[in-house]
Amino acid sequence: MTSLLLLHPLGATGSFWDPCLAALPGPAHCPDLLGHGATPPGGATLSCFTEHVVSFLDERECVDPLVVVGISLGGLVAQGLVVSHPDRVAAVVLVDTVSRYPQAFRNTWAERIEVAKTDGMEPLADVMEETWFTEDFRRGHPEIVAECRRQFLRTDLLGYVNACQMLGAVDIHSELASIARPTYVLCGTDDAPFFVESANEMADLIPDVQFDWFHGAKHACVLEQPDLFGRYVKDFVGRLGS
């Protein structure tokens, strides 16, 4: 049975995936990325984030290729992993992520760094909630929203700043056509427009790709629609052996 490697978004931890685990096929590894949860801050490059994941796998003697699932920040790390360490990857699922940010949003990362340094994480947690979840989901599942907010507020400030610096600078767009593993691109239809545009773009450029939507979901679509997420991943994994 193929194991999963689940890579969380900015300002979360490996437990971000807890509401999804019952719907997913097979065992899953859910590391805390650099500067998140129990992992101290490291460097501010995609390579630093990727090599941390490789070290996590090595420490656990996970040598077999995994199905790597990454959302947002985790999706960028997943792209870095499949490009730099394809031997560790059986297939990749990219959820609500980009290969590079548009210039306007690169400026936003710099602004968020200044807010974090000046006012802490609290005002950014409000932005997170509005970006990740629809109003209906926030009303109907306050416990999940509250847990995500708790994780966000406990994120190490330097870890957050380093991650924002990486996100503001990263550009692996030119590597998409070289991804040599089966890839599944997923996105919420109500996510920010540049995430929707990026999903379409990745689906056009990655050679062996499948593509689906979470209709009516925002950035944290896997939490808003975990059963659909589970079906998507189960079907994708099932097709790998056919």
Query: How far from 142 is each of 16, 24, 36, 149, CA to CA, in Å?
Result: 15, 23, 23, 10
| 171 beta partners | 100
Can you tell me the distance from the alpha carbon of 196 to that of 181, in angstroms, rounded to the nearest whole number? 22
Question: In terms of Cα–Cα distance, which of 45, 12, 38 is closest to 162?
Answer: 45
Q: Give the pLDDT score at 103.
A: 87
Q: Calculate mean pLDDT across residues 192-212.
A: 97
| Residue range 112-127, pLDDT digits in tens | 999 999 999 999 999 9
Query: Which fold, 4-240?
Result: Rossmann fold (3.40.50)
Can you tell me the distance from the alpha carbon of 155 to that of 165, in angstroms, rounded to the nearest whole number? 15
Give domain limits for the chain.
Answer: 4-240
Band the pLDDT of 75: cuts 50, 70, 90. very high
| Residue range 139-180, pLDDT digits in tens | 999 999 999 999 999 999 999 999 999 999 999 999 999 999
Q: Give the pLDDT score at 105.
A: 86
Q: Percentage of residues in the chain with pLDDT exceeding 90?
A: 95
Report whether pLDDT(1) > 90.
Answer: no
β 28-29/66-71 pair status: unpaired
Both tokens assigned to 126: 């409000």
**At a CB cut-off of 8 Å and minimum separation 6, what does 3 contact?**
26, 27, 28, 29, 62, 64, 66, 67
Can you tell me the distance from the alpha carbon of 137 to that of 95, in angstroms, rounded to the nearest whole number? 19
Can you tell me the distance from the alpha carbon of 45 to that of 49, in angstroms, rounded to the nearest whole number? 7
Band the pLDDT of 26: cuts 50, 70, 90. confident
Q: Calculate mean pLDDT across residues 85-106.
A: 95
The amino acid that residue 54 corresponds to is V
Statement: the pTM of the whole predicted model exceeds 0.95: yes
| 93 beta partners | 69, 184
Q: Calculate mean pLDDT across residues 199-206.
A: 97
Question: In terms of Cα–Cα distance, which of 144, 214, 175 is closest to 78?
Answer: 175
The amino acid that residue 7 corresponds to is L
Containing 105, the helix (H) or strand (E) segment is helix 103-119
Report whether pLDDT(242) > 70.
Answer: no
Report whether pLDDT(241) > 90.
Answer: no
